Amino acid sequence: MLPSPAAALRRLLAGPDIVLAPGAADSVTARLVQAAGFPAVYMTGFGATASRLGTPDIGLLSQTEMTEHARNMTRAVGIPVVADADTGYGGPSNIERTVHEHLQAGVAAIHLEDQVAPKRCGQMAGVRLIDAEENAARLRCAVRARGEHDLVIIGRTDALQSAGVDEALQRAARYADAGVDLVFVDGVKTVAEVEKIAAGVPGPKVVSLVDGTDAARLTASDLQELGFDLALFAVTTLFAATRAAADALAGIAATGSLAGGPARHTYDEFTRVVDLAHHQDLDHSFGA
């Protein structure tokens, strides 16, 4: 019997190498992450909101929409999915339901953040925080709701840009004491911030690098040397895909032709991404 996705992720985290989990805004991108050989994929809330609504990440998706998105992604890939569970979507009963829904969806890990609802992307200005002890209690609720299951729970703080690195480190320590498996200081923009977090958070920890920031200069080897256990590249595939799509459309608009433009999959290549052959085999074996 294969281990659960959460158990597989725990094995990876216990290994000697940092776990790299590129972000995926949708299930087809998650398949690309898996095909590229990465051991895990990150279901980014930023990307989920953009792909489903075409809007910024300002807390517009509900718990039901986010868990449905996560469930579709876990069905599409065989590698562990780390899912953005926002703030838990309410009080203790909502947090318990959030944990149970993600367990049922088959995700390997969730992260819960300490923002006032409606939340927003950690890279944006105007983040408002809830009381640190109140959030620690919410994380203890999530840990209890998990019970004996393997689900990895990550305590995330968005204090870095709104309250400074010292407050972020204090919150990370408090959340670690609440019993979460890893802590995650989001919103890093500079190498110096990453280094301060690495030095100030002694236990298992997560880092997320965003394209276009100073911190994006860091390599996986750098992050491993600094002591991070899990690295998320939340928006890289989304930004690459939208840029390529915009360039392809601009080419058609300018020339009226499909010739030229950015590199793209052929029809046959894309059918391999979505595993058309598997469904053709089913139809051949059992169809009319």
Residues 6+ apart with CB under 8 A from 220: 18, 20, 231
Confidence (pLDDT) at 125: 58
| Residue 137: CA count within 13 A, CB half-sphere | 9
Confidence (pLDDT) at 119: 66
Q: What is the pLDDT of residues 52-108, one digit of tens each?
A: 999 998 889 999 999 999 999 999 999 999 999 999 999 999 999 999 999 999 999
Residues 6+ apart with CB under 8 A from 209: 188, 215, 216, 218, 231, 232, 233, 234
Confidence (pLDDT) at 288: 80
Superfamily of 5-239 according to CATH = Phosphoenolpyruvate-binding domains (3.20.20.60)
Give the pLDDT means over successive 10-residue stretches in the chain (288 positions). Answer: 92 98 98 98 97 92 96 98 96 97 98 84 71 98 97 97 96 98 97 98 97 97 98 98 96 92 93 96 93
Confidence (pLDDT) at 3: 85
Contact 49, 87 (CB under 8 A): no
Confidence (pLDDT) at 196: 98
Cis omega (within 30 of 0) for bond into 118: yes
Confidence (pLDDT) at 61: 95
The single-letter DSSP state of residue 18 is: P
Confidence (pLDDT) at 84: 97
Confidence (pLDDT) at 58: 87
Confidence (pLDDT) at 117: 76
Confidence (pLDDT) at 260: 84
Catalytic (active-site) positions: 121
Cα–Cα dist 59/162, whole Å: 18
Q: Domain residues of the chain, as ranges? A: 5-239, 244-286
Question: CA quadruple 156, 158, 161, 167: dihedral positive or negative?
Answer: negative
Contact 20, 59 (CB under 8 A): no
